[in-house]
Structure 1
């Protein structure tokens, strides 16, 4: 636990330092890069990332930051613009998580070529046969209610073979709405099935992104049911969420790099906080990592807040899992309202972190990171 807390803390500071520098360059150029009609000349560029996965950085002499955009290079670009992509923002958290738990497959799904092309997806069970999964079962009732709501809206579900199962006849919808367990739901449908949630897009009005799939599968021998969420990650879905994450990141940069830049007034930074939460919402529904999406998402959330001089001083409410809050809300606004109720009152202005040594320089190799995470004081 100490190791994970230390990993998260160092990752938060590194992200804050990296993003803060990019925002400073963005703000500096925005004050002199405005067109006659008042619009910013914002050039959308992407970095050439060698690999978002570990890429062989497994020895003590390898560069810990070799796969990310160097801080100095941000100012060396001829465009004079910050060119951080949303993946550049999340990559430090991914690398820290990789090294802190080297046996976990914390990798970007789109780098798993065969699995990616076949629609690789994460699997998170709430019920496994006759057992309740302690970590995730608290979300069972909400997930069941959401599944019934989706079925009522679509009047159908999908089979294991991805065939449409029509439920519009024989009063099946009425029976489904009265179902209180996944067992009852499965009995009414009559076979294994899944329904997909969705996310309302902010970047493209009226567009819906595919969220996660709520699945209900009967175990062999009638030994209960698997009730879980499975998040697919196909090339088409990746493209949709990549576009949405890009839009969310640009909206955040715009919110902070204007008149709010450098503010130390919490009231003035509300639009920035909302933009950070919207970006977090899409990250959790995207679920672009084979493992570790939840913790990296929260680490980046804290890092972005800190980059805007806001520190979270409390803990997540007991029993709440922020990634599930995103997954079970189809509208980003509902997620923002849910999280801000406990997050915003726990924020305070903090600029002292800017005096810290640059994390990417202090821990420039994988060996240095391992040493930092492995050192304990008696």
Structure 2
């Protein structure tokens, strides 16, 4: 997705200079989706066996019963180790939402629930505990995350949902909505706005797959357009989308992500690179470059 990142950088640089883009022969203001469409285009070409679709552009009949990005965290004895680093965060999140629920609907029993949850150290132990306090949780229960809006302060939208049942723990995304105004040209403020956009994108999960790599490609490209280069690496076991989904606010996500990124000033020579969009204007040229053996041009790791 390196070429996707470069194309996002070049598109954003042109936009910040001109504030408009040309789409289908017409000139208009650039929208957040235009950035992500660039990364989506490359993600589709990079792995054509996995269709990457915008959910709102899918046929109505395909969405008539709803569409969720569904992830099994634990099913029976099988643990999804890809998300293992987030199990403690998810457990704390579930405990917090349970306390919020009982605080609103069972205030008299809140202290007893709180004491019971203090002894829970594994997600698997939550269901037996909850059965003691609510007969409706006999077969399982769900909790939703809340995503704060930057447009309407104080308003929250549903984020992802955790489902606890007798044989599995699942996470699926419901969606979020927010608008992020971009006015401040200060480097750190721009960085925070870019990361907040990705925070909402990851919680919204508007793609059928590939949201994480698309989001991070946009982050890197937009930051490069602002004059910053990401030289750090995502820590082992961490995932961009899950980091955003398990973080309570865009500010917290921005703080965490910037610790990973180790931002440095962008080298000047990036500005002299040829246009990615003009160099690879068709699907054929994109496929050709992705299948080119570039090992002889890349520095070997020591």
TM-score of the superposed pair, with normalisation by structure 1: 0.70
Measured after TM superposition, the shift of residue 191 of structure 1 is: 2.1
> Which residue is 2:215 aligned to?
297
> Which residue is 1:185 aligned to?
126
> Which residue is 2:39 aligned to?
93
> Which residue is 2:71 aligned to?
124
Secondary structure, aligned partner of 1:193: strand
Measured after TM superposition, the shift of residue 119 of structure 1 is: 2.5
> Which residue is 2:270 aligned to?
353
Distance in structure 2 (CA, Å) of the matches to 1:377 and 1:90: 26
> Which residue is 1:69 aligned to?
23
> Which residue is 1:174 aligned to?
115
Secondary structure, aligned partner of 2:157: strand
Measured after TM superposition, the shift of residue 69 of structure 1 is: 2.3
Consecutive unaligned residues in structure 2, runs of 5 or more: 131-137, 296-302
Distance in structure 2 (CA, Å) of the matches to 1:318 and 1:205: 34
1:229 equivalent to 2:171? Answer yes
Distance in structure 2 (CA, Å) of the matches to 1:341 and 1:9: 21
> Which residue is 1:255 aligned to?
184
Q: Deviations over 1:291-342 (max 9, x none)?
A: 0000000000001001112111221222222222211112111112222223
Consecutive unaligned residues in structure 1, runs of 5 or more: 1-7, 30-46, 48-67, 75-81, 158-164, 220-225, 257-267
1:146 equivalent to 2:93? Answer yes
Q: Flag the 1:168–1:359 CA change in 2: closer, same or farther, 3 A.
A: farther
Query: How many residues end up aligned between the 2 structures?
Result: 286
Runs of 4+ in 1 over 6 A off after TM superposition: 165-168
Measured after TM superposition, the shift of residue 104 of structure 1 is: 1.0
Given that residues 306 and 350 in structure 1 are in contact (C-alpha distance below 8 angstroms), is that contact kept between their aligned partners in structure 2? no
Measured after TM superposition, the shift of residue 136 of structure 1 is: 1.1
Q: Map of 1:256-271 to 2, 5 A cutoff?
A: 256=185, 268-271=186-189
Distance in structure 1 (CA, Å) of the matches to 2:285 and 2:155: 45
Distance in structure 2 (CA, Å) of the matches to 1:228 and 1:375: 39
Which of these residues, 150, 156, 159, is aligned with residue 211 of structure 1? 159
> Which residue is 2:16 aligned to?
23
> Which residue is 2:298 aligned to?
none
Distance in structure 2 (CA, Å) of the matches to 1:193 and 1:363: 50
Secondary structure, aligned partner of 1:104: coil
Which of these residues, 136, 152, 155, is aligned with residue 83 of structure 2? 136
Which of 274-283 and 112-121 deviates more? Answer: 112-121
- Root mean square deviation of aligned Cα: 2.5
Secondary structure, aligned partner of 1:135: helix
> Which residue is 1:110 aligned to?
56
